[in-house]
Structure 1
Amino acid sequence: MFLRRFTQLQLGLFLYGLSIALMVRAELGLNPWSVFHQGLSDVTGVSMGLVVNGVGLLVLLLWIPLRQKPGIGTICNVLLIGTVADLCLRVLPPLDALWLRSVFLIAGVLLNAVATGAYIGAGLGPGPRDGITTGLLRVTRWEVRWVRTGVEATVLALGWLMGGTVGVGTVLFVATTGPLLQIFLPMFTRPEGSGPASRLARASS
């Protein structure tokens, strides 16, 4: 049922934006793409949420040579995640206590996996960054682990050079995202969208 899948998509995108904000406020390290977004935000002076949306739009241009086709989920991804992240960052105050920052970090990592499983599992189109992985898989025929590792290592390095936050949270995210997605992605995957979801599940393992 489209309405159910669309609702799941929107919920997943909202939670994804919230997870970014939680990890930013933790100040203990971000996931690779968020390191890149934060670094670019620092360099340009543009809010992180707008950078997330803008990068998503630019990444869609890379879909053309990869012969990827966007879906409604792809468009919603570009418009919503960064917007929600900015709104949540305005509401969530900076934190001082290490224990509270650690709670925010762990909650952000877990919530990110739940959110990713929800929006990909809805089967309405992968996010722009997810599409880079699936597109390269089809074009290069390389092993999924090398494709995903190569993409995330590149954006992580660029983000770090621009001042993005790399730390224990980055290591925690990289170490746990695969196992967590293997739990949450099957829980949320709809039969209509099982193709892209399956590929991304394998890419995360």
Structure 2
Amino acid sequence: MKAFFVKYLYFFTGLFICCIGNYFLVAAQNLGVSPWDVLHLGISKYFPSLGLGTIGIVVGLLILIPTTIMGIKPKLGTFLNIYIFGLGLNALMSSHLLEISSNYAVSFLYLIIGIITTGIGTAVYLHANTGAGPRDALMLGLNRKTRYSISQVRSGIEITVVVLGYVLGGPIGLGTLIFSLTIGISVQWGMRLVNQPQFITKSRPIEVTK
């Protein structure tokens, strides 16, 4: 029972940290939104009646198709990730604790905080081994299939998403490029941090190709 509690404590804590990271990234959109938000905003131009969170949920469910084919089968945590992340982000955005900054220095600070926080949050919730979210499942699946590192795979995914989102009309900027090139490093660093002995629970440590 204790192991179950600790596992889901990791999961929900990591997911909330990711929500905070994404919230900072949205607040830094003066420099350009994160790659997945470029895609979501691009899609929203064709489906204006759908909220950004709803679009994110639909995209997440569609991503489960190739990840399942690659052997990363969705678990309960995968579906919780899709819905809870969207609800959590919507709640943070509704709180207006952060405003979209027009100051480039502040936006850059938000961007850096968002990248680091997202990397740590991703590592924490993956460590619970309750099932990766769809985007991270795609990252893990490609890591196993291609044998490229987490850093290389994550950066490759982000760059691909940016191009697709831009074609659909999503906004991009310098911050988008910085996020795309550094988020893989942040996630890999977070995984190494969480897999240190003082952080390990009875859940299985994450297997990562170096």
Shift of 1:187: 2.6
Return the letter of the residue paired with 1:154.
Answer: T
Structure 1: tracts of 5 or more residues without a match: none
Distance 2:188 2:136 in 1: 16
Q: Does 1:16 align with 2:18?
A: yes
Q: Does 1:81 align with 2:85?
A: yes
Q: Does 1:6 align with 2:40?
A: no
Structure 2: tracts of 5 or more residues without a match: none
Residue number among 104, 110, 117 corresponding to 2:110 in the alignment: 104
Q: Does 1:193 align with 2:204?
A: yes
**8 Å CA contact retained: 2:57, 2:82:** yes
Shift of 1:15: 1.9
Return the letter of the residue paired with 1:120.
Answer: L
**8 Å CA contact retained: 2:26, 2:100:** no
Specify whether residues 179 and 152 from structure 1 end up closer, same or farther in structure 2 by C-alpha distance, changes over 3 A only: closer
Distance 2:139 2:120 in 1: 19
Return the letter of the residue paired with 2:175.
Answer: G
**8 Å CA contact retained: 2:155, 2:180:** no
**8 Å CA contact retained: 1:53, 1:83:** no
Partner residue in 1 for 2:41: 38
Deviates more, 1:18-27 or 1:95-104: 95-104
Specify whether residues 53 and 194 from structure 1 end up closer, same or farther in structure 2 by C-alpha distance, changes over 3 A only: same
**8 Å CA contact retained: 2:77, 2:132:** yes
Distance 1:108 1:147 in 2: 20
| 1:107-126 pair list within 5 angstroms | 107-126=113-132
Partner residue in 1 for 2:137: 131
More helix by share: 1
Partner residue in 1 for 2:148: 143
Tell me the TM-score normalized by structure 1: 0.82
**8 Å CA contact retained: 2:124, 2:191:** yes
Shift of 1:101: 2.3
Specify whether residues 102 and 162 from structure 1 end up closer, same or farther in structure 2 by C-alpha distance, changes over 3 A only: same
Specify whether residues 89 and 128 from structure 1 end up closer, same or farther in structure 2 by C-alpha distance, changes over 3 A only: same
CA-atom RMSD in angstroms: 2.4
Tell me the TM-score normalized by structure 2: 0.80
**8 Å CA contact retained: 2:155, 2:182:** no
Return the letter of the residue paired with 1:192.
Answer: S
Q: Secondary structure at the match of 2:45?
A: helix
Distance 2:26 2:44 in 1: 12
Q: Does 1:182 align with 2:193?
A: no
Shift of 1:37: 1.9
Partner residue in 2 for 1:68: 72
Specify whether residues 146 and 185 from structure 1 end up closer, same or farther in structure 2 by C-alpha distance, changes over 3 A only: closer
Return the letter of the residue paired with 1:86.
Answer: N
